[in-house]
Amino acid sequence: MRRAQPRPTCSPAPSQTSSPNWHSLRPGGSSGISSQPNSSGARTEKQPPRRRVNLPLRILIGVDGTLSDLLSTWLGIYNLKYHDSIEPKHILTWDTDKYVKCGDKIYDLLPEAFQLAAPLPGARWAVDTLRSQGHDLYAVTATSHKKTANIIAKAKWLAYHFPDFDPEHVAFFHAKHLIKAHVLVDDCPANLVAYRRAWPQAWLATIPYPYNRHMDNTVDLRPLRPPPGAWEDIVKGITALSRP
Ligand SMILES: [Mg+2]
pLDDT 10s digits, 118-176: 999 999 999 999 999 999 999 999 988 889 999 999 999 999 999 999 999 999 999 99
- Whole-number pLDDT of residue 17: 41
Query: Would you list the domain boundaries of the chain?
Result: 27-69+119-242, 71-115
Q: How many angstroms separate the CA atoms of 243 and 94, rounded?
A: 35
* Mean pLDDT of all residues in 104-124: 97
- Whole-number pLDDT of residue 7: 59
Instruction: Specify the fold of 27-69+119-242.
Output: Rossmann fold (3.40.50)
For ligand 1, the distance from its centroid to the CA atom of residue 134, given in whole angstroms, is 24
b/e burial code for range 205-222 (CB count within 10 A of at least 16 → b) = bbbbbebbeebbebbbbb
Burial class (CB in 10 A: 0-12, 13-18, 19+), 203: buried
Q: What percent of the chain has pLDDT over 70?
A: 78
For ligand 1, the distance from its centroid to the CA atom of residue 128, given in whole angstroms, is 20
For ligand 1, the distance from its centroid to the CA atom of residue 48, given in whole angstroms, is 30
User: pLDDT category, 24, cuts 50, 70, 90?
Assistant: low
- Whole-number pLDDT of residue 143: 87
For ligand 1, the distance from its centroid to the CA atom of residue 66, given in whole angstroms, is 6
List residues, by chain if needed, whose CB lies under 5 Å from ion ligand 1: 9, 62, 64-65, 187-188
Contact of 65 with 71, CB cutoff 8 Å = yes
pLDDT 10s digits, 44-86: 444 445 566 777 999 999 999 999 999 999 999 999 999 999 9
Beta strands 35-37 and 43-45, pairing class: antiparallel
Mark out the alpha helices in the chain (DSSP H runs): 70-82, 110-116, 123-132, 148-161, 189-198, 229-242
Cα-only R_g, the chain:
17
